[in-house]
Structure 1
Amino acid sequence: MQTERLKFIFGQFDHTSEFDGFEELASGHINDTYLIKTKTKPYYVLQRINHGVFPDVPGLIENKVAISQHIKEKLQHLSPKKQKRRILKFFKTNTGASYFRGDEGNYWNLMGFIDKSVTHMTVPNEDVAYQGGRLLGQFLTLTNDFDAATLTEVIPNFHDMPFRYRQFEEALAKADKARVEKAKPYINLVHNSREEMHILQNLKESGEIKMRVTHNDTKISNVLFNKKEKGLCLIDLDTVMPGIVHYDFGDAIRTSCNTAAEDETNLDLVEFNLDYYNAFTKGFLKNMGDSLTPIELKYLPLGAKTMIFIIGLRFLTDYLNGDIYFKTKYDDHNLNRAKNQFKLLQSLSEKLGV
């Protein structure tokens, strides 16, 4: 049943390949993604976008297509072979649309599969950290002249600090007393951090930091490498939307420089990896340095600090709300995630002096 369904959907797109099978790619947590194998290469990636999570799926897909087309125009100097490995290619449907919507209401898009490529779930060494920084810097540089205001805001208020604080205060007001007591040190930390954690928001709103195209999901698993560990391109453009450079830099640092898993309960194991930070930043500035304003450059470390804080705040808020957003495996799972992020925040502050 699944095979015939995917074969039918694949057939709705404009290509010349013959369906031969599929393999589920299980790296994402929101969408369903399949590797479509054909009689002869190239292979394809077929993705169902979760319209329960994203309020405007057509806008999301149009964002991806527009950004990939913009990058293609910027990289016209590369050979066709290199372009295939450095640029995400999206296929239109047989009717010329950017997506196919099935009878069940699901939205599907199709892109080319980049063969002989690898991804990493965590950063294994400084070279990979450097390449991750280089690719993010390149992405932001290539899209620097794209009008971010034309993009759909696929997740409204995603990194909006006043919005996240309002969510926290509302959760705290109605939270279970036992949970409030357990979380009290971290609740106090959030209250005491309010002024500092609004610095970037205020600079953005005043226009002192420009709005750019941002990726908004810059974990290392969204960087594609070749077999020799050289970075090829960023993948998973679902959350591309307007933002500031500190969001992308900060979230990449948050996910790349934690010495432990995000829900590690032994906080002695949670440290900020300064070597990975330095390697990532070096790669990032190699491609991005000339595009940054002095004020953007000045606040990059605060970007890392802010993004660690905001995910810690979201975990804490969900804990106070009774675990209604993030999936949990036990009662205090979200609290332990919050503790983990706030320990990472402390370690970053000590090692970077911010």
Structure 2
Amino acid sequence: MGDAQCGKIKEAIGLLAFEGEPVSWKRYGSGHINDTFRLICKTEEGEKHYIIQRINHEVFKNPVSLMKNIAGVTSFLRERIQAQGGDPARETLNIIKARDGKDYCQDSDGNYWRGYLFIERATTYDKVRNPEDFYQSGKAFGRFKRQLAEYPAGELAETIPDFHNTPVRLEAFKAAVKADAWGRAHLVQKEITFVLDREKEASIAMDMLKDGRLPLCVTHNDTKLNNIMIDDATGEALCIIDLDTIMPGLSIFDFGDSIRFGANTAEEDEPDVSKVSLSLPLFETYTKGYLEGCNGSLTPEEKKMLPMGAKLMTYECGVRFLTDFLQGDTYFHTSRDNHNLDRARTQFELVSDMEKKWEEMEAVVRRSEI
């Protein structure tokens, strides 16, 4: 850690109302967007642990609106958790306010910082260790959806506009194909055809939202296992973290992104697509947990559309990877030649396997209903 960065952390620590005397801090977690540190402060009662983060305002263009979203949602969650006899200090994020009363501070270089109470005796995992982890993941995100069912989603700012607007992503893809700025389109004609053959389905969810058949709700938009704190003692999902992409959206997208990532038998960037398939047992495990967590808060149409949510999120992600490949790999980090192309092909192979298993996916949802 350089002297300049160290100085900025010290400045931010002084601007946020942490309890006690700062003793030490070190990098924490595996996130790649924000700079995250675990802070230890000494008080008369002993040590207090916190998280301090520099918000990446190159990715999140409006940190003030982002923090307003998080403050509103976590305040709402604390009330619900307390009413249900839970522990709001461990079951939701708790913002440490700045000394001027705001939910964030700015250092002298204009960087945005925030603080959270550290959640003790809990761990995040980057990979599913066993089916129980995936079940707990589904249960946690389902409970998150239920707890926020009455939150006015329309009041939330879009931290990344059109993040899961599949038709908009498709138009960007078509523009990239037409421009062919890197001369790569001739290499991926099969993949381009795959995308365009499914164009009619791309707008189905947004059309249903427009028609009022799917409700707008609070969505997390990054529903991976590593955004859940698992209680070290019980092994149960405890708290949803990383709320930067909290936005108004569709529940089927949060469900679908979990399936895309967690029920694939291969890694997201597996070059050998013969290894790619949808694990129906894992799909069922997550669906059971998700519906149990939702506990009746989904509409019949939302339940019915869960498989389509999985397919659309996988399709959309593949479209984004292929778009980036056509545009010269400028958005997603790549570590080898054709990395984004491998990612796109993996997503499209998973979509194809979902199509083969469609009736089985629908049957899983029916028998998992609560």
TM above 0.5, yes or no, is: yes
* 1:88-107 matched pairs, under 5 angstroms: 88-107=93-112
Match of 1:248 among 250, 254, 265: 254
Letter in 1 for 2:271: T
2:132 is matched with 127
1:6, distance to aligned residue in structure 2 (A): 1.8
Letter in 2 for 1:187: I
In the alignment, structure 1 segments of 5+ residues that lack a partner are: none
1:331, distance to aligned residue in structure 2 (A): 3.0
CA distance in 1, matches of 2:80, 2:295: 18
> CA 1:289 to 1:297, structure 2 compared with 1: closer, same or farther past 3 Å?
farther
Letter in 2 for 1:20: V
Given that residues 3 and 22 in structure 1 are in contact (C-alpha distance below 8 angstroms), is that contact kept between their aligned partners in structure 2?
A: no
Letter in 2 for 1:21: S
CA distance in 1, matches of 2:258, 2:322: 21
Q: Which of 19-28 and 216-225 deviates more?
A: 19-28
* 1:306-345 matched pairs, under 5 angstroms: 306-345=312-351
1:12, distance to aligned residue in structure 2 (A): 1.2
CA distance in 1, matches of 2:103, 2:48: 20
2:353 is matched with 347
1:256, distance to aligned residue in structure 2 (A): 1.0
- Tell me, what secondary structure is at the counterpart of 2:101? coil
1:102, distance to aligned residue in structure 2 (A): 1.1
Q: Which of 311-320 and 19-28 deviates more?
A: 19-28
1:21, distance to aligned residue in structure 2 (A): 1.1
* 1:210-221 matched pairs, under 5 angstroms: 210-221=215-226
Match of 1:286 among 286, 292, 295: 292
Letter in 1 for 2:279: N
1:21 is matched with 24
List 4+ stretches of structure 1 deviating above 6 A: none
Given that residues 90 and 110 in structure 1 are in contact (C-alpha distance below 8 angstroms), is that contact kept between their aligned partners in structure 2?
A: yes
* 1:25-174 matched pairs, under 5 angstroms: 25-39=28-42, 40-77=46-83, 82-174=87-179
1:260, distance to aligned residue in structure 2 (A): 1.7
1:208 is matched with 213
1:84, distance to aligned residue in structure 2 (A): 1.6
Given that residues 88 and 235 in structure 1 are in contact (C-alpha distance below 8 angstroms), is that contact kept between their aligned partners in structure 2?
A: yes
1:300 is matched with 306
- Tell me, what secondary structure is at the counterpart of 2:139? helix
Listed one character per residue, the Cα deviations across residues 233-254 of structure 1 (whole Å, up to 9, x for unaligned) are 1100000010010111111111
CA distance in 1, matches of 2:193, 2:260: 22
Given that residues 84 and 114 in structure 1 are in contact (C-alpha distance below 8 angstroms), is that contact kept between their aligned partners in structure 2?
A: yes
Letter in 2 for 1:322: G
Match of 2:188 among 151, 166, 183: 183
Given that residues 182 and 328 in structure 2 are in contact (C-alpha distance below 8 angstroms), is that contact kept between their aligned partners in structure 1?
A: no
In the alignment, structure 2 segments of 5+ residues that lack a partner are: 362-370
- Tell me, what secondary structure is at the counterpart of 2:203? helix
Letter in 1 for 2:296: D
- Tell me, what secondary structure is at the counterpart of 1:290? coil
Given that residues 7 and 19 in structure 1 are in contact (C-alpha distance below 8 angstroms), is that contact kept between their aligned partners in structure 2?
A: no
Match of 2:14 among 11, 14, 17: 11
Given that residues 3 and 21 in structure 1 are in contact (C-alpha distance below 8 angstroms), is that contact kept between their aligned partners in structure 2?
A: no
Letter in 1 for 2:36: T
CA distance in 2, matches of 1:16, 1:123: 35
CA distance in 2, matches of 1:75, 1:13: 25
1:289, distance to aligned residue in structure 2 (A): 4.1
Listed one character per residue, the Cα deviations across residues 156-185 of structure 1 (whole Å, up to 9, x for unaligned) are 010112211110011001115752122111
Letter in 2 for 1:155: I
RMSD, matched Cα: 1.5
Listed one character per residue, the Cα deviations across residues 278-302 of structure 1 (whole Å, up to 9, x for unaligned) are 1111011112141111111110000
Given that residues 167 and 202 in structure 2 are in contact (C-alpha distance below 8 angstroms), is that contact kept between their aligned partners in structure 1?
A: no
CA distance in 1, matches of 2:37, 2:358: 41
Listed one character per residue, the Cα deviations across residues 260-292 of structure 1 (whole Å, up to 9, x for unaligned) are 211110112222121111111101111214111
Q: Which of 130-139 and 341-350 deviates more?
A: 341-350
How many residues are matched? 353
1:234 is matched with 240
